[in-house]
Amino acid sequence: MERYSKAYTELSVEELYEILQLRAQVFVVEQECAYQDLDGKDTIATHIFFKEDGIICAYARFFGPGDYFKYSSFGRLVVHPNYRGENYGNMLIDACISGIYEVFKTEDIQISAQNYLKKFYERHGFEKRGTIYLEDGIKHISMKI
């Protein structure tokens, strides 16, 4: 397993294609949610992903303060269906938190989490902020560390 952290301009065409394919596979098809994944934010994000046997098996992107929310943030956290249950979700969160600290020198992180994953994020120190809201038809909750 290899970990990568790249700016948008550092991604190869093949990596970008595989990332977008994975995001569509999980967020659009699997979760049955038609939404605009290409939101214009990929160009300002840092992209973190893990590869195993040459395949991107887990991915997330993170942002600096003010890029997405008032505080630093991460999102589009996704694990390939064939690699679930192998701790990649936890490794992605840890990589995002440490990446944000290394790049932006802050530990203040705000995320928009799918509500069913609230306990998962709480295990990483995130706390619920506010009430549940719908984002693209899916229940979300604001969380902050």
Residue-wise pLDDT for 10-33, tens only, equals 999 999 999 999 999 998 888 888
Domain 2-107, CATH among 3.40.50.1000, 3.30.1330.60, 3.40.630.30, 3.40.50.720 = 3.40.630.30
- With bands split at pLDDT 50, 70 and 90, how would you rate the model's confidence at 54? very high
User: In sequence order, what are the residues at sequence separation of 6 or more whose Cβ sits closer than 8 angstroms to the Cβ of residue 48?
Assistant: 3, 4, 5, 59, 60, 61, 62, 92, 95, 96, 99
Please state the domain extents for the chain. 2-107
pTM of the model: 0.92
138: buried, middle or exposed (CB in 10 Å: 19+, 13-18, 0-12)? middle
